[in-house]
Amino acid sequence: MAKCVSKATGKPLSAYETEKEAKESAKYSKKEFKLDLYPYKCENCGKYHLAPKESKIKVEQNACSCRDTNGKPKALYATKKDAEKQQANSEKEQKVKLYIYKCPDKKGFHLTHHSPDEYKDIPKEKKTAAPAKKPATVKKAAPAKKTVEKKTTAKKTTTTKKK
């Protein structure tokens, strides 16, 4: 099994079998070295590693119905700020340009490789973002009302003065 390495330094990451073990190491690092770390479970090796708390991004899986092109659940970011952090990390570490969009289930934000300009050309079954806009409705003009002119006659009234 390949060892996980730090994207920042290229050095192997410390790996812990349990979350409890990783939490204890994070606690020790804070006490001894003033490092504020948190444990996370690695998707590659299945073990726990430590990362700086300021880099922590809240991401949820299976929190909405959105799927990627392989049918896997899309990562959901609770806030736009979290999505922006991940977007910046991906650009810096993996040299990948990602775009942020609102989850169609209105539960947060997702990232995609498709720019808003090219997104409109993707077939509907592959889209995982917001549904297509409804076509503009054209209002029908109201039928013209018939107007009828009424003829009015003014009555003349005369007044007579008494002498």
pLDDT for 87-116, tens place per residue?
988 887 778 889 999 999 888 999 998 887
pTM tops 0.75, yes or no: no
Residue 24, number of CB atoms within 10 A of its CB: 13
3-state SS, residue 82:
helix
pLDDT for 119-130, tens place per residue?
555 554 444 444
pLDDT for 41-80, tens place per residue?
887 788 999 988 777 777 777 778 888 888 888 889 989 9
3-state SS, residue 36:
coil
- 2-16, 88-102, 103-117, 133-147: lowest mean pLDDT where? 133-147
Integer Cα distance of 99 and 144 in angstroms: 50
From first CA to last CA, the distance across the chain in angstroms is 130
Integer Cα distance of 135 and 117 in angstroms: 18
**How would you class 4 by CB atoms within 10 Å of its CB: exposed for 0-12, middle for 13-18, buried for 19 or more?**
middle
Average of per-residue pLDDT across 3-30: 90
Integer Cα distance of 132 and 126 in angstroms: 13
CA R_g for the chain:
33
Question: Which position has the higher pLDDT, 155 or 26?
Answer: 26
HSE-CB at 30 with a 13 A cutoff on CA atoms is: 14
